[in-house]
Amino acid sequence: MEWSATMSTEAADSFTITSTTAERPDAHTHSCSRKMAAAAEGLAAYRAVLRAARRTFKGDQLMLQESAVEIRRRFEDHRGLAPGSDEAVRALADAREAAHFISHMIVQATRAPSGSFVVKPESVHAGATLEVPSEEILSKLK
């Protein structure tokens, strides 16, 4: 597709853009555009979930590695979905929800020198409830 632009030297407010091809793109171009948009949306969702995990699990190498593996696996499971299909739309919505959940509902606890755990919620966690791990879970961490 070729585009040309002209501007009148007499009047700066006169500016024209014209296309030398038909106004309506052919089916192939439209299909490619839709696939590229879906791929971009999928990549943005993937990056958002990874970013949320990196922020939430900062300093915990095991959780960073394991969450990255799980996130990648989930996206690979949905790789073959048709762009715009109900299932693809649902998978993208799930990814956005996962990024929000990781960012807003998970707080990484750290062990204090005394052996107790310290939780430092940030402003994004305002209004969330705290779920205290059971003694069984805590004993496995020692």
Using alpha carbons, list the distances in angstroms from residue 7 to 2, 10, 13, 34, 44. Answer: 17, 9, 8, 33, 38
Two structure tokens written together for 85: 């299909």
Whether 10 shows a pLDDT value over 60: the answer reads no
pLDDT score, position 4: 39
Q: At what angle do helices 61-77 and 86-105 cross, to 10 degrees?
A: 170
pLDDT score recorded for residue 53: 95
Helix-then-strand count for the chain, H and E: 4, 4
Check: pTM over 0.75? Answer yes or no.
no
| Res 132 pLDDT > 60 | yes
In this model, does residue 112 exceed pLDDT 70?
yes
Q: What are phi and psi of 31, to 5 degrees?
A: -65, -45
